[in-house]
Chain A
Amino acid sequence: MSELEASMSMLANKNILLYIGKGILFTLIISVIAVLCGILIGSVLALVRNYCTRGILQRILHALAVVYIEVFRNTPLLLWIFICLVFCPCPEFFSRKMFGLTSVETKLLFKAAVALILFTSSVIAEIVRGGLNGIAKGQFEAAHSQGFGTVRTFVYIILPQAYRNIMPTLLSQVTSTIKDSSYLANIAVIELMARVKQILSSASQYNGTGNIHVSDVFVLFGVAAVIYFVINYTLSCIVRSMQKRRSRQPKLERTA
């Protein structure tokens, strides 16, 4: 029992709480950035994969998009993190001290974030494609008949509807990305998962007993699990309520 008390006493340590808090912030910021960039790149990929089918140039772009999506979807994220560590160029701006990280860590953070963005964008591309496929052909014809060009049709008519339809799926993709961001723990101590593991490895200094016990594992990883759970469960509750509201609304698009 005293072991458990010793482990719990770590949570009263202000420095440890601050350390974990910073980890939460990094996890959230990295994930949100990855999803936002993923939506941008993913939308382009989805549009190219769905609609670039005429002419040689378009066919080449189409093939590139297909290869990109399939390659990233069928290989593990960790592989891409390792690849980016070696091959991703890092701009000068990111090779200095920032956000309380050393210059080496900011470099690692940038490279790993690039890997996460590349990986997430392939998943989001497929989500966006699902949204685009759900839009009735009549919408294109109506837009053309009203004199909209191709770009304008997509920007004003097609994409807004597609995004509206896939909003729940995109939100649940944020959940997956938050979970995926824990893979960054493999290369640097930046986000939540890595920080908790770091505290565990030096827990003997903090719990006052001079040893690492099982209770330390339970308390530290328990705290991390609770944090992840609260964030992700809140998001999935939002997703569910959105879906419920949608299923109650009559589907206007389907009547065409």
Chain B
Amino acid sequence: MSGIFSLRAWEKVWLYRGTFLLGLFNTVRTAVFAILLALALGILFGLMATSGKRALRAVSRVYVELIQNTPVLLQTCFLYYALAFSGHSIGIITTGILALGIYTGAYMAEVVRAGIEAVPKGQFEAAQSQGFSYLEKMYYIILPQSIKIMLPPMVNQVVNLIKNTSCLYIIGGADLISLTYSFVTGENTGGAYAPAYLISGLLFFVICFPLSKTASSWETALKRREQRQVFARKNAGGKEAMADE
């Protein structure tokens, strides 16, 4: 076991820096495409959940509950082995993108739904009475108001997705964690546990920390603005404010 201060272990990590860069590249690539897929699915199912049509709402509900209540690891394994044993293998990275996209999409759908439901009902009615079509109403009136509510939890989900790329390991993945593990256990490269894990963790931290920090600062800003509004309404006259709520 090499300690953090062993120079030889660090030299080994530096010699094989390509492994870590490749892992980082694969993790980022998987994450980016999965985020796009998750956003698309999230918006689609989020809109379905708020459409008011019973069938669409039910479909969206089933998707969200099924995906949110089972582990992402199980979904990845299921997708990978089902495709592999039926002879349609699509590769590890693509499987990862699909599985992670579908998994995070369920959370995005809930975020979108909550964001749209937070817009007062009068806004929908006003848009309708002005002759806006469904898409126009959503695009010009509803989404601009709900985007500030949706963004912080969305960024948090992105962070979760990046961390969950480690689920590729179970299907023989090529992501950062998997490559780090095969580096420290490899026959020629093995042994440099502490530096390798430190580098790998640091790379994740460098990506995820700014994102979650941004999300939480947006959230506090939003909360403060809401409190100010409530305060202003209370001062303006209690009765109207009560009626609104």
Contacts and interface: CB of A to CB of B under 8 A. Distances in A.
A73 B166 contact: no
A173 B205 CA distance: 22
Contact of B65 (A82, A193, A213, A233): A233
Interface string A168-195: 0000000100111011011000000100
B193 A87 contact: yes
A250 to B, nearest CB: 13
B205 A74 contact: yes
B188 interface: no
A168 B239 CA distance: 32
Given A87-B193, A228-B70, A76 B177 contact: yes
Range, interface on chain A: 35 or more
Nearest to B181: A82
- Interface on chain B toward A: helix, strand, loop, or mixed SS? helix
Nearest to B196: A82
Contacts of A83: 197, 201
Contact of B82 (A73, A193, A214): A214
A75 B169 contact: no
B204 to A, nearest CB: 5
B71 A228 contact: yes
Contacts of A197: 77, 170
Contact of B204 (A74, A86, A233): A74
Interface stretch (A54-62, A102-110, A216-224): A216-224
B177 A78 contact: yes
A214 B170 contact: no
Contacts of A233: 65, 69
Top 6 nearest A-B pairs (CB, nearest first) are A74-B208, A232-B69, A78-B166, A182-B71, A179-B71, A76-B166
Interface of B: 1, 65-66, 68-74, 77-78, 81-82, 85-86, 159, 163-167, 169-170, 177, 180-181, 184, 193-194, 197, 200-201, 204-205, 208-209, 212
